[in-house]
Amino acid sequence: MTLYIDPPTWPGHGRMWSHLVSDVSYEELHAFAASIGCPPKAFDGDHYDLPEFRYADAVAAGAVEVGSKELVRRLTAAGLRRPKRRPSA
């Protein structure tokens, strides 16, 4: 069981955000997110968007800090990556 989190460097809605992922299953990801008080609506297809103030909670609960590129690499290697669909031109 490993959960990964990238640094809160993604701006949006007046704050900075991190991404939380699992390399095992979505079930593991949902359970971990719930355990740190993350609402289900924060799930975005293959990850949770965590506001900066929840970053330390996730790390304290066992999430491993990695860079954004490493996070995507691990998610893809686990077969859990769900890229967002882009609108057709």
Cα gap 2→33, rounded to integer Å: 13
* Tens digit of each residue's pLDDT, the chain (89 residues): 689 999 999 898 999 999 999 999 999 999 999 999 999 999 988 899 999 999 999 999 999 999 999 999 998 988 778 776 655 55
pTM reported for the whole predicted model: 0.86
pLDDT of residue 81: 81
pLDDT of residue 80: 74
List Cα–Cα distances, 12 to 51, 71, 82, 84, in angstroms.
9, 19, 21, 17
